[in-house]
Chain A
Amino acid sequence: MHSLKKLSTAVAAALALAPVTVLAQDAAPVKIGVVAFLSGAAASPFGVPARNAAELVIELMNAGKAPAPYNTKGFGGSKIETVIIDESGGTTTQVTEFRNLVQRHNVDMVIGYISSGSCVGIAPVAEELKKLTNFFDCGTPRIFEDASYKYVFRTSPHSTMDNVGAAMYLKDVKPNMKAIAGINQNYAWGQDSWGDFEASMKHLFPKIAVKTSQMPKLFAGQYNAEISTVMGAKADVVHSSFWDGDLEALVLQAAPRGLFKKSTGVLTAGETIMAKLAKQIPDGTILGARGPFGPYAPDNAYSRWLKKEFQERYQVLPTYPSYQMAQAIMGVKLAWEKAQAANGGKRPSNEQVAAALEHSTFEGPGGTVKMALGKGHQAIMETAYGMSKVVGGKVTVTKVKRYPAEVVNPPEGVKAADWIAGGFKH
């Protein structure tokens, strides 16, 4: 029994290391858990720009310095506080940390998650803990197709429209093309992206030939052999959903070999590298930004505000993860305040905020966000594609075409894959 006592003391001591905070409900600040990759390869393109946007937007909101209707202080007058957590470590770690956020930090809501794996794993836990959770970036359409949730939202469009939009853009600008090839990362995102693109192309170009689909390992870094194979395939178009580090490596290694000069590159997440690789991206490369973000953002009060403030603070223009984080916070703020008003000015419950966010429509730096799918929990937005053109040493986009939200997204209740296979029926 002696060792038992020691063991239990040790356990108790270990658990006591973690801070436990219980806050009084009245006049308490609104506590938001913010989760994004702060280490590993996804930190620099997604996690850190998103965290930066969250810190910036929340600070400005606390000061009442966001454009109307986001200009009340904090959330309905309550100051916003954040608890920031790294998204690394796998789903088991993320589920543990999500529970810690909710049950140890007593956050009022969680905004976060870049990896689709995290989102799939977190959604049922958020539901179990009855905690409002807004996924700001992850792509897979499965979240609201496989289940329906009361507390889980995604204020960013899912990835289906990225590839449907790319195919529609090709139909508009290269109606006579005959063959495609692909190079995508061998994990769910890359597999889904290529699957959606291939199916969309087969529908829009019934005679299209699919030459090769390369699936290198995530973070492989060396793509000479893949580039040779894709070049040997002599396709009109090479599709890639690569992002950041891998995309930069691909473009760097493809440039001296002329891959994207011989075949037009369709880079669905190409926007994040535009500012960095002006010399290596040949004119005419088709670039996507996962929605109306970055160079495709509409010129409205919110995008001007975000660009100006972000540039001032971080000396760079915001990329799409920053837009998505900003609009995730904005959407929740409006819903919070709407719920608070309906609650007679008192602090709203998670259920009331969720009800207000459901089926809502709001304006953000990327234009109109409609919570149209997944029973009002999944956003749709328009998307845009364009071709790169180097002007004065900087990559700009030309021949921009915009596709309305309802055209590039499946209707409510239809799975994205079925919708594409069925020929985009509405």
Chain B
Amino acid sequence: MKYSLASVFAGLLFGLGLIVSGMANPEKVLGFLDIAGLWDPSLAFVMGGAILVGLVAFALARKRTLSFLGFNMTLPTNTRIEKRLVIGSMMFGIGWGVAGFCPGPGLVALGAGEIKAVVFVGSMVAGMILFEYVERKRATSAT
């Protein structure tokens, strides 16, 4: 219960941050990615502000084995830079540049009732399901 309440709170705060920062608007994101046109550096300030707070939070978290609510810290342990990390991220970047949506802003725009965001999120979920399906097929054919 506590865990889910904290999750809803974090999600809400994240969404509000995306709205305040202007990043829920794909046109603003594309303004950042269009460095050869009229460039809008706002996204860099969003990342900067978020990372500033994040640095403090992760420094605090590193010293702990349990969270403030008493849950296990489940942090990533993989430090390898594999081919799939780079290729997957490059694919994501292409999709991001095509429409100006990454997952968070897509979901916020969906919550705002934008039909086009529904189409984007629907396709994104379809892509994730497709990925999961192929991964499982591969895993079973490998054994």
A binds B: no
Chain A residues engaging chain B, CB cutoff 8 angstroms: none
Chain B residues engaging chain A, CB cutoff 8 angstroms: none
